[in-house]
Chain A
């Protein structure tokens, strides 16, 4: 019974959570938020799905991507650290200003990229643990 209400809630909340995560990720450098928090929000969204639709559903949906996502996140973070090597420094913040006509100046820096890497690692890490722990135990355990 409860699952039916959860499924309804899930329909409404999951998209909101994903959008929220992206907002946290984008504004994170200036407002509350950031890659770590955004990653946790995504994990919460998947937790919602696990509760509403069962862990098998989510596992089929994203299970195989989780570990590659962690790897990709780590690679992105390391890549952002290497960007400043021409200046003779590792992990030095490097910023580029892109002026968008009519919309002001967009500042993109290696920390943004680094944050995206953190986001991917954290979201995939927490989600993979959620999935593993919510897998039904073998029948005959206590």
Chain B
């Protein structure tokens, strides 16, 4: 079933694109069907999974390599699956109205559904490598969505930055996965989690493994100091920002940490890293959000802050912390998603997202204001919202820590309360300033284009679900909260959730935070003014860009060094290096006795003729006075080699050699034809001698290699296996059977490389033509030379 649902979403992507959804006004409802189907099925599983049932599916796709697609649905996977599919359905409806018949709608849906497939695969995968593949799938779709508006250079820059940061993190994570797999002896996540935790924590490689995996999770979930890519990702269309960069994708890192929590949570490295990184991210995001004026930027930094909270909670190994994590994830998805969507509708209606130009929108868009109120109050964490429930549980975690006698618990409590107060402040800003205040401080934007009720409906639905959950605790808490929390903790969790616990110290702290938040809201103008003065050093974007510039500079100077030499020198160095590495191993053998070469055997007549022909042709090539005769005599060398293949009964090899000879010969002629005819200058004696020396070394090495290969198999030969089984493989031509059957995986890799090389080469050849014409009197920079084949002997004796 799980694979069917993934396939349904994957197939929906191209289908929706081909259907040209921009033709219909209400296309969004059609697009919402596949994720709704997924959501509905997942809801039916809430009961059984809440009771502890686990659904497993395994699809072996390569038995020989032990590779299988393992899918597993437990409480945590179901929880994330519901968020991804449920919010995905709302986003699909919303996007239909947001793009409003723009032709890019189909492309957007294709990317959205590919993302949805990857994200669901990520949370359902039970294999580290499968998880990695889906992880990269979300990175790539995110990249394409951020750069959705190709004409906007800022969007392209933000997309590149996001891809590089998350891509590097993912590579580190892959290394961590391999270490994890080596330590645990399996790549199956559930099998790894079933091992006793000290298998990992007491292993010598635990620290490197953990750090590598954390790098992946932190980059994906925008933790300090990698947080800067997330605000840059806000160039994506708003439905994508709401979905990927707030509700789902950025939580992938949190998901991974939650998934691995039972195995690692006992280590102190885990505890301190997550606590400090999460805590710093929480405070920093909350503070930077205060200085933003773009609605989406405020929400982006608030998201960074909330992600910090979630990572910080994962540091703890307690029932309350696991519960606070689960509540925090769902509450955040259900208030931040709608708030992003609201920002998109405001942008759509007024043409701006600058909060300084917005005021009094509630009159024109009362439904939207209601949605903003529901979502905003939840973000502020006021009783009786879902956000309140999440915040109470969060504060409780620190109270427990404090009660255990650690003074650091108090620090954590104060920090969380402070972040909570800032959340209150900008929730109120987001509700009050655009919707209810009388006049905007800057030129006020008018509502030109009020949204239809159907456009606002997804916002109300999401915010409504968030509002309803605290009142339905008795029905949903077992499946929706207890089951994922148990998976995070690795032990069954019992629940005692309620909105009202009486006048507990936690509630009083919460009230204090709200009061402080109101104060910050009241004083927001002086506070913002003070913040606007602060230098923009915290963003991290500048540091990253400097690093990238240095990297490009380094690549450029390396290229100039390596490719600056004339071609003949490059070829010489390459050949000498190849010969040099293997020279000793080849000539440490005594060819006269060790190898048992029968030196007395006489060569056949044909062999002598062909060898003499090849040598003569080679001599002519070297001595040729014109390029054309050099090319043709070089072709003759190739022809002689081809005939030798024929006599040694290797027709396939001979055919290939022949065709390649013909193609290269004609190509060389074509290329030289373009260059004005020129007498080949005689090469100076000194250089000529050097070339001779290189040739002799390389030739004797090649000769030795050939003898060695023929006389003493270094490994048990596999050719016997091939020739024995060639008939079983329905083929008579062993070369072809090896290429397309026995070693087809190699061939598949080769043709994939060919396609990539073709695209790259095409782009290079194209780019050099598009470059402005160089001044012919200036010698062109070798590093930028137009095409290698056009100046093969450039430099010294061209």
Contacts and interface: CB of A to CB of B under 8 A. Distances in A.
Query: Do A and B interact?
Result: yes
Interface of A: 24, 28-37, 40-41, 43-44, 47, 51, 67, 70-71, 73-74, 77-78, 81, 85, 88-91, 93, 95, 107, 109, 111-112, 114-115, 117-118, 121-122, 124-126, 128-130, 132-138, 140-142
Interface string B56-69: 00001111110100
Given A44-B659, A93-B741, A34 B736 contact: yes
A111 B659 contact: no
Interface of B: 60-65, 67, 651-652, 655-656, 659-660, 662-663, 666-667, 670-671, 674-676, 729-733, 735-737, 739-741, 744-745, 747-748, 751-752, 754-755, 757-759, 761-762, 765-766, 769, 773, 776, 786-787, 789-790
Contacts of A142: 675-676, 776
Contacts of B659: 37, 40-41, 43-44
B63 A89 contact: yes
Given A77-B751, A107-B730, A90 B655 contact: no
B564 to A, nearest CB: 19
A70 B758 contact: yes
A133 B741 CA distance: 33
A29 B740 CA distance: 9
Contacts of B776: 140-142
Given A73-B751, A132-B762, A141-B786, A34 B62 contact: no
Max chain B CB contacts within 10 Å: which of A74, A112, A115, A142?
Answer: A142
Given A33-B733, A115-B736, A142-B776, 13 more contacts: A28-B733, A30-B731, A30-B732, A32-B651, A37-B655, A44-B659, A44-B662, A74-B752, A91-B748, A107-B730, A118-B739, A128-B762, A138-B773
B655 to A, nearest CB: 5
Nearest to A51: B666
B687 to A, nearest CB: 22
A30 to B, nearest CB: 3
Nearest to B728: A93
Nearest to B745: A91
Contacts of B730: 29, 93, 95, 107, 109, 111
B733 A34 contact: yes
B748 A34 contact: no
Given A121-B755, A132-B762, A142-B676, A81 B740 contact: no
B747 A114 contact: yes
17 contacts: A32-B652, A34-B652, A41-B659, A73-B755, A89-B61, A89-B64, A90-B65, A91-B745, A93-B730, A93-B741, A111-B729, A111-B731, A115-B736, A115-B739, A130-B667, A132-B761, A142-B675
A5 to B, nearest CB: 16
Contacts of A74: 751-752, 755
Contacts of B789: 133
Given A28-B733, A29-B731, A136 B740 contact: no
Nearest to B676: A142
Contacts of A128: 758, 762
Contact of B667 (A24, A93, A133): A133
B663 A47 contact: yes
A67 B758 contact: yes
Given A122-B751, A140-B773, A32 B655 contact: yes
A79 B769 CA distance: 36
Contacts of A32: 651-652, 655, 733
A125 B757 CA distance: 9
Contacts of B790: 137, 141
Contacts of A30: 731-733
B739 A36 contact: yes
Contacts of A111: 729-731, 737, 740-741, 744
